[in-house]
A = this chain, B = another copy of it.
Amino acid sequence: MATEEIRAVGGETVRERLLAKAIDLFNRKGYAATTVREIIQAAGVTKPVLYYYFGNKEGIFLELMREGVKRLEQIMESARFAKGSSVERVIDLCERAFTLFQENIPLVRLMNSIYYGPPQGAPFFDFDAFQTKFHEVFIQLVGEGVAAGELRQGNIQDMAWAILGALNVSMDVELSHPELSIGRDGLVRVLKLIFEGVASKPKRGGSNNHA
């Protein structure tokens, strides 16, 4: 089949077009309610073209999930072995993850819909294993920062959560409240605040006791 060579307007391949139309339909109608017929009609191709690339609706769904995760894994891998201080590497990883997120908002919406939504009959995709991996990269970077004396002695998990919280909230706001958008620069500012502390300096003696 020569369809691999077919390119649509703007240099998008037929394969890419099928993926984009599938995301769009899954988001608007839900995975369960979307048919192969609707996907191929939206992409302007015949059924055998979809079958050739993806096998079926499950196949196109799984390919979407895998591609999204693969790109984030590449970023994670490069962060693990990057040069620079822990703070630099954490900020760089967050910036790159945020940029990838911004470039793939419809895909993230689909992932959220499958992850948080009601059962829709979509094939199993192991989001949890992937999230655990992502978390572990932060644990590694923070651990290296503590070992190097760059970050404070303390609970590495807690530090990783503080950082991941900033990354998550910057993405959530972008999805749900674009009018309050933090953006990538804002995310970097929030991360620096977390490194430096929100409390005013000099500290008034002792810890923040609360009732």
Partner-B contacts on A (CB < 8 A) = 26-33, 84-85, 87-88, 91-92, 109, 112-113, 115-120, 128, 131-132, 135, 142, 149-155, 157-159, 161-170, 172-173, 176-177, 180, 182, 186, 188-190, 192-201, 203, 207-211
Question: Are A189 and B128 in touch, CB under 8 angstroms?
Answer: no
Question: Are A162 and B30 in touch, CB under 8 angstroms?
Answer: no
Question: Are A29 and B119 in touch, CB under 8 angstroms?
Answer: yes
Number of chain copies forming the complex = 2
Which B residues touch A176, using CB under 8 A?
A: 115, 128, 131
Q: A162-B166, A165-B168, A196-B197 are in contact. Are A116 and B118 (CB under 8 A)?
A: no
Mind listing 27 A-B residue pairs with CB under 8 Å?
Answer: A27-B118, A29-B119, A30-B117, A30-B120, A32-B118, A33-B118, A85-B210, A87-B210, A91-B208, A92-B210, A116-B117, A131-B177, A149-B200, A150-B200, A158-B190, A161-B169, A164-B169, A165-B165, A165-B166, A165-B168, A165-B169, A165-B190, A168-B169, A192-B208, A194-B197, A195-B208, A196-B203
Question: Are B165 and A199 in touch, CB under 8 angstroms?
Answer: no
Complex: A92 Cα to B211 Cα, angstroms: 8
Which B residues touch A166, using CB under 8 A?
A: 161-162, 165
Complex: A51 Cα to B42 Cα, angstroms: 43
Complex: A189 Cα to B154 Cα, angstroms: 10
Complex: A116 Cα to B158 Cα, angstroms: 27
Question: Are B119 and A118 in touch, CB under 8 angstroms?
Answer: no
